[in-house]
Amino acid sequence: MSSARQIITYEQLHSLWLRWQAMSPRPPLDRWLKQHAAGWRRHQGEPMPMAVSDAMIQAVRYMQLACALEAVQRQGANIDWMTWDDTWQPDDSDQLSRNNFWYWIHQRCEGRWRVPQDWNSGSRKQCFIDFQERAMSNPLSPEWMLWHGLRPQWLPLLQQRAERSRWSDMDLQRFVEQQSARPPLWLRINTNESPETILPQLLDAGIQADIRNGTLCAQGGNGLQQSEPYKAGKVEIQDLASQQLSNMVAARKGDKVWDCCAGAGGKTLAIASRMEQKGVVVATDLHQFKLDELKRRAKRASYLNIRTFTWDAEAPLRLPAEVARQQGFDWVLIDAPCTASGTWRRNADARWRFDASDSAEMEALQQKILNNACAAVRKGGHMVYATCSWQLSENEEAVATFLANHPEFTLESQQMVGAPQQDADCMFVAKMTRMA
């Protein structure tokens, strides 16, 4: 596609934006865009331009910033942003005109879009420049948070995380800045081949990839799932933080492992890959369609020691016969449902569903899963609890509550992995052992 054809208009973007907003319930944007891209190809006879999907993601990421810039344009810069943020809602972006909304988004992400005539000069352009200068000259300010697509009210919670994890001010700044950067696509190798062996195969398939600290990394996934290394089961898409979590389940050949909340099975596959087809990995989830995807991935990777079935966490698991004989699993992994605040850079719309004051239901679910899963750990066995959230209430505080109610378990370690030290998601991992 020529560069001229890649330039899109506000009208095209807004039409797509309204279609997504009209969905009820509104699906996750990344999933909806994949479905829309398939329809685009059928009706247009060509792939949907990457600039279109990028624009939609950036619009979600910076919708509050667009509202803030419009407020400055109309009212001046003397705004109490914490008070303003208290009353702001994502739907407030609907009150901006099409051109105003997309102009602010356009300026923030420097998109390849056709700007209405004379909009790159005058008061709006100067308003944007002035706001940017104020934000960048004052890190960890409300304007700086808005600039990076985060609500100012989240800063105290992030500062609590920084204090608990002993992040420096620079670490915290790096974490916030990562939320407005495109995430890399980390790959895990399923076979005994080295990254140095797999990398040329990816490059030959037209995949932009490199090796970072011994791990394969791709910039975007365009064409990856059609490449020979992926189709042959040599590589899986798995974020670096998730790979590190999987490595903390140090299962050996012959072990019995239970992945309670397996989803589509990225961590299940990683654990199984180290067991050399010896032992068993039981993967459960509330949703059968996720387990069906896991089965397809396991077949592609030729893993024969994975069993799947649904589990709703309403009662302790009925142990398979071979597990019952040894009175429980050697390892139980709980990658618990959570607010997913550690994945915001990949799931831009998830941040607007985050409400720290309304997380009691999620925290209660986490305790229920812990309480009903722990009975399946054999004496001397291990339980790993994890979330893709940075909130203390879902992590350290959740572990403390569980241990207070289950003195038969001891805490071996707990830590955050991934961001900000690495260009990845942010995950919490705690390892506990059931006393013999």
Q: Give the Cα separation of 125 and 123 in Å (integer).
A: 6
**What is the number of residues in the chain?**
436
Distance (Å, rounded) from C-alpha 124 to C-alpha 69? 9
Per-residue pLDDT tens digits for 61-92? 999 999 999 999 999 999 999 999 999 999 99
Nearest to 21 by CA among 283, 352, 366: 352
How far, CA to CA in Å, does 285 sit from each of 245, 258, 293, 312, 394?
18, 11, 12, 7, 20
Mean residue pLDDT of the chain comes to 90
Sign of CA dihedral 46, 49, 52, 53: positive
Give the whole-number percent of the chain exceeding pLDDT 90: 64
pLDDT digits 0-9 by tens, 347-394: 889 999 888 776 888 999 999 999 999 999 999 999 999 999 999 999
All structural domains of the chain, each given as residue ranges with its CATH number in brackets, are 3-149 (no CATH), 185-237 (3.30.70.1170), 249-434 (3.40.50.150)
User: Which tokens sit at 175?
Assistant: 């974490």
Task: Tell me the one-letter amino acid at 384.
Answer: V
Answer whether residue 3 shows pLDDT above 50: no
Task: Dig out the tokens for 189 from the structure.
Answer: 């190798």
One-letter amino acid of 58: Q
Cβ atoms of 358 and 394 within 8 Å: the answer is no
Q: Are 229 and 205 in contact (CB under 8 A)?
A: yes
CA distances in angstroms from 424 to 27, 149, 212, 235, 261, listed in the order given: 24, 17, 12, 18, 21
Helices (H), 92-190: 98-109, 123-136, 142-147, 155-165, 169-178
Q: In whole angstroms, what is the distance from residue 105 CA to residue 54 CA?
A: 11
Q: What is the rounded CA–CA span in Å between residue 141 and residue 68? A: 14
pLDDT > 70: percent of the chain: 95
Residue 230: partners with Cβ closer than 8 Å, 6 or more residues away? 224
Q: How far apart are CA 293 and CA 289, in angstroms?
A: 6
Could you give the maximum distance between any two Cα atoms of the chain, in Å? 76
Q: How does pLDDT run across 113-148, given as a tens digit for each residue?
A: 766 655 666 788 899 999 999 999 999 999 999 999
Alpha-carbon span 11 to 18, nearest angstrom: 11
Asked if residue 5 has pLDDT above 60, the reply is: no
pLDDT per residue as tens digits for the range 296-319: 988 888 888 899 999 999 999 999
Could you report the per-residue pLDDT of 208-265, keeping only the tens digit for each? 899 998 999 987 656 788 888 888 888 888 999 999 999 999 999 999 999 999 998 8
CB atoms within 10 A of CB 128: 18
Answer yes or no: are the C-beta atoms of 186 and 179 closer than 8 Å: no
β-bridge partners, 413: 431
* Distance (Å, whole) CA 305 – CA 272: 7
* Omega prior to 27 cis, within 30 of 0: no
DSSP codes, 3-61: HHHH-EEHHHHHHHHHHHHT-SSPPPHHHHHHHHHHHHHHHHSSPPPHHHHHHHHHHHH
Number of Cβ atoms within 10 Å of the Cβ of 48:
17
Instruction: Judge contact between 275 and 255, C-beta under 8 A.
Output: yes
Residue scoring higher pLDDT (13 or 142) = 142
